Chains A and B, each alone.
Chain A
Amino acid sequence: MDEINYTLAGSWVAASLRSASPLMLVLLGETLTQRVGIVNLGVEGQMLAGACFGFGAAAVFHDPVLGLGVGALAGLVLSLLHGVLCIQLRVNQIASGLCVMMLGTGITSYVGRVFVGAEVSGLAPLAGQFASAQSFWQPLLTQLTWIAPLAVVLTLVAGVLLFRTRTGLHWRTVGESSTVAAALGLRPRLVQWQGLLTGGLLSGLAGAVLSIDYTQTWAQNMTKGLGLIAVGLVIVARWNPFLVLPVALLFGLADTSVLRLQAAAVNTSSYLLAAAPYVFCLGILVVTHLRADRDAHMPAGLKAVFNDR
């Protein structure tokens, strides 16, 4: 009896981690981007590009790892566009981000038509067979691929990078004030490019993970606003990579719970249930916003996004 409970818990955790991985990656990317003082609404488009081109490459070359790489590059290329617009040409970041988002949606709708119905092999689970069949670890090892551990490790690495290295110190300084950074002899634009492109890579990868590893299909607009959710959740995670994991997991948990409830044939409209994670997300946002020091963690440079200069 006990063993079955453990297995159940394990499979619940595994499912949450699996469903949270894309969000974790894109949330981490957006966190790093905002840390250098740039808001990138284009992540939605970047994720779609990653999902679409990554899936395409994986299907055509029968190589899921190559697909992940191509997906990450697709995200990078779109973030490059955002960078040219808002870092080099000083276009308003919101406008430029929306533009990248629309571009990503449009291109993937067009190109993606040929991939609808295609098949990819997906990644192998961490362990195919597991000796002691019934334990907490069994579902983790059989249901998870190396993506989930990678995402977890990446958040930790990014946290250490941000808070314990000179590079991270430079990023945070630029995110607080480009003027001060310039006076200190840093090159703010260069640093912003670093943060933005890292975010681009991660969001593209997140999209590819979604299509290649999680759903193993391509569907038009399959991210369903996950990128934009990430932009909102950055606030909940207080611009802190170390909080990306718990925040993404909470969301993943809400998401999988919905699937389980559906599976358990709860008598509610599936559309309503599908909206639940977003309601949950709104709830967290309101709760965090009610706290007294809500602005204390926000990079000050982000406030300039709304001053046109």
Chain B
Amino acid sequence: MSAAPRFSLQNINKRFGEVNANSNVNLDIYPNEVIALLGENGAGKSTLMKLLYGFYTPDAGEIVVEGEPLVAHSPKQSLRLGIGMLFQQFNLVPALSVLENLLLAFPAAPWWQWRRRRLTTDVLACLQRIAPDIDPQRLVRDLSVGEQQVVELAKIMALNAQLVILDEPTAVLTPQEVERLYQFVAQCRADGKVVVFITHKLADVRACATRIVVMRQGRIVGDWRTETVTDNELIQAMVGKDTGLIVNRIAPPKHLLPKLMVKRLNVSSRVGTITAMDFEVSPGEVLGIAGVMGNGQRALAMVLAGILVPDSGEVILDGVSINALAHETIKVPDNVAYIPESPLTNAVVAQLDLATNLQLRALDALPFLQWGMPALHEAQHKLAAHDVRPSDPHLSAGALSGGNLQKLVIARELSRPVQLVIACYPTMGLDLIATRNVYERLFAQAEQGACIIWFSEELDDLLRYAHRIMVLHGGRVQSIGPVASFDRQRIGRLMTGHAQAC
């Protein structure tokens, strides 16, 4: 790397209140690199890149582009300089169409946009190149997460960005979409662009990166060329100590007497459909459910949790029909722990503080007058035990990052003994240590005799920890059986609807 750096971050410092998000960070970015920026949740990766993009202003330090220090940096200037960023939380306007979202970021978009047809061809050339199957007139809010990301990528392509920053792009994608993303990165590199790829998945790093930079607690703690470093070294650098990341797989249940029974379940609702579903789960059994998102997972989880009434069929837990209860009050039964997907919208009240959010499952049992102290102590205890950061019980839930929010929900749902745990993508967006902690708590419930229904897109984890695996496709059980009868390829085929074949 003899060439001069194209982008250079020099002595960057950034504080948020008490938190040192970045301290004395130096990073030079050279032509034609794909840098993987690794680090645990809260390591300061997003902050560093948002500084480079101009979304935040550094407290101290300089950003130098092609030898020129930037003054009064802003996203607008970034667009001019050819810096494009895919934010962790997307920057799309859900109420606008795909085309309108592209036009927003298209520098040459004309003021007069009456003649849509000609414009369409201009602007959509970029979209066409990576995703010809997305209809530009559709509203973004009707797209799946993966499709939304593709629109974001098309925006970056339209900018003809020279530096492409991707903030945890694979956290929310299906395996197929991940492949498509890897191709996108390879394409960028072939076009001579520089890519910074923020992630905490080692698989991403190995697939794309030429150089690996590891951050921990706001500092850069390691910088290697990809071939010169082992996975173990990376994990150690990220975590900061030598910890085992593998949880012990708990033994499968000895007695196969069904505790949870799902009988001839049919659901057709706004959140998805389920057709003629039948299965049983024994006490202490971990049933892993795989499937491309949107194939009935959401409806199944909600029916099991007792908050969606099925059209027909029954869910019986310990001899009690969950959906009979659901007809009376729509409420998750007390002996069920429910960890829904997208915790921010489905599991917490963003405006309420952490202590209150921790009590949400027992609202009717709360005293009329809230004197706070006992609840506060309990909340503090739970927050500390689950390593929710920051652990201030007065903070509102909306202020937590995705990973910490997930920990909060798990603290609420799994810190009491239950009979059934429904966990929907419980480790999505979590780093290595947090993932390990979630698995430990999840499987501890199984050891106490609870049934675990575990939806996941981490096929490797499913294969490693589940006792049985069920693959969903189009709202039906595509296949169910002991974990030994599955492997990655087979699950992948079943997920996309190929029948039982080998």
> A: which residues have CB within 8 A of B?
160, 164-167, 169-170, 172-173, 176-177, 180, 182-185, 299-300, 307
B51 at interface, CB cutoff 8 A: no
Q: Which residues of A contact B94 (CB under 8 A)?
A: 176, 300
Cα A81 to Cα B100 with chains together (Å): 33
Instruction: Check if B110 sits within 8 Å of A169, measured CB to CB.
Output: no
Given the known A-B contacts A165-B112, A173-B93, A300-B95, are A183 and B87 also in contact in the complex, defined by CB atoms under 8 Å? yes
Instruction: Check if A176 sits within 8 Å of B93, measured CB to CB.
Output: yes
Instruction: Check if A164 sits within 8 Å of B112, measured CB to CB.
Output: yes
- Which one, B55, B91, B113, contacts A169 given CB within 8 A? B113
B96 at interface, CB cutoff 8 A: yes
Cα A296 to Cα B362 with chains together (Å): 33
Q: Which residue of B lies closest to A296 (CB)?
A: B95
Contact-residue size bin, chain B (C-beta under 8 Å from the other chain): 20 to 34
Instruction: Check if B113 sits within 8 Å of A164, measured CB to CB.
Output: yes
- Which one, B78, B87, B111, contacts A166 given CB within 8 A? B111
Q: Which residues of B contact A160 (CB under 8 A)?
A: 114
Q: Taking chain B's interface residues, is the majority helix, strand, or loop, or is none over half, making it mixed?
A: loop
> B: which residues have CB within 8 A of A?
55, 74-76, 78-79, 87, 91-96, 100, 103-105, 109-114, 351
Instruction: Check if A169 sits within 8 Å of B75, measured CB to CB.
Output: no
Q: Which residues of B contact A169 (CB under 8 A)?
A: 96, 100, 103-104, 113
What are 19 A-B pairs at a CB distance below 8 A? Answer: A164-B112, A164-B113, A165-B112, A165-B113, A166-B103, A166-B109, A166-B111, A166-B112, A166-B113, A169-B100, A169-B113, A172-B100, A173-B104, A177-B93, A182-B55, A182-B75, A184-B104, A185-B78, A307-B351
Q: Which residue of B lies closest to A173 (CB)?
A: B93
Q: Taking chain A's interface residues, is the majority helix, strand, or loop, or is none over half, making it mixed?
A: helix
Q: Which residue of A lies closest to B112 (CB)?
A: A165
Instruction: Check if A183 sits within 8 Å of B91, measured CB to CB.
Output: yes
Q: Which residue of A lies closest to B155 (CB)?
A: A184
> Smallest CB–CB gap between A172 and chain B, Å?
7
Cα A173 to Cα B92 with chains together (Å): 9
> Smallest CB–CB gap between A165 and chain B, Å?
6
Given the known A-B contacts A166-B103, A166-B109, A166-B113, are A185 and B79 also in contact in the complex, defined by CB atoms under 8 Å? yes
Q: Which residue of A lies closest to B101 (CB)?
A: A173
> Smallest CB–CB gap between B98 and chain A, Å?
13
Instruction: Check if B91 sits within 8 Å of A167, measured CB to CB.
Output: no
- Which one, A166, A173, A185, contacts B110 given CB within 8 A? A166
Given the known A-B contacts A169-B100, A173-B104, A185-B79, are A180 and B93 also in contact in the complex, defined by CB atoms under 8 Å? yes
